[in-house]
Amino acid sequence: ELKVEQNPLFLSMQEGKNYTIYCNYSTTSDRLYWYRQDPGKSLESLFVLLSNGAVKQEGRLMASLDTKARLSTLHITAAVHDLSATYFCAVDSNSRGGSEKLVFGKGTKLTVNP
Amino acid sequence: NAGVTQTPKFRVLKTGQSMTLLCAQDMNHEYMYWYRQDPGMGLRLIHYSVGEGTTAKGEVPDGYNVSRLKKQNFLLGLESAAPSQTSVYFCASSAHGGRTSYSNQPQHFGDGTRLSIL
């Protein structure tokens, strides 16, 4: 059974600082997603990582995937208040193809303080 | 450009009542999903569908039924609501589900339905 763990679950940081959110998963998968959720809102797709070594960047966020270590990271550079949200990683549990049965981590609630 | 639309947005039920949540997508997606989100739990898959007329169980299917009579619609039913089913329900759809295509399309989510069961 696939398990996905994120840490930290809560992160309070100052504007301008850097930090990394970690996503570990327990079984083989080469498809990982990062989503953002604002309070009371839907989930917004940030990154899709499809292979070992994949790295994607959008603005102050950069995501990477190491399938051998079963680890993805979401790095925040020079945080700004607008990045305050909950971030989820999700891993495709179906290693033999078929549906995208995603297993989500519990989320990291990020608060960026002035 | 509606994307994924969920109806209703809010609902309060009494224990034992039944109701149906509707999800509609206008992106011609094959795959559709129902999740529930509870505080501190992330999202958990209830049921999913890989095409019109098909459904399958996810991680937490007990107490729910689903139907996919039309490609664009995916219905989630609660036959006899229980307080443990108080949650936010999200519907999602995706363009494909297989590894035959290495498309980078993620699942697209609706705005959610907040359901309270008293």
CB atoms within 10 A of CB A27: 13
Percent of chain A whose predicted confidence (pLDDT) is above 90? 77
Residue type, B72: Q
Contacts of B31 in chain A (CB under 8 A): 99-100
For the residues B61-77, what does the mean pLDDT come to?
97
CB atoms within 10 A of CB B67: 15
Contacts of B44 in chain A (CB under 8 A): 104
In Å, what is the CA distance from A81 to each residue of A72, A85, B77, B106? 23, 9, 39, 26
**Which among A6, A86, A99 is the top mutation candidate for probing chain B, defined by the most B β-carbons within 10 Å of its own β-carbon?**
A99
pLDDT reading at B41 higher than 90: no
Chain segment B7-29, per-residue pLDDT in tens: 999 999 999 999 999 999 999 99
Residue A47 pLDDT? 95
Distance to chain A for B78, nearest Cα, Å: 22
Residue A24 at interface with chain B, using a CB cutoff of 8 Å: no
Backbone angles phi, psi at A20, to 5 degrees: -130, 135
Contacts of B101 in chain A (CB under 8 A): none
Q: Which regions of chain A are under pLDDT 70?
A: 95-99
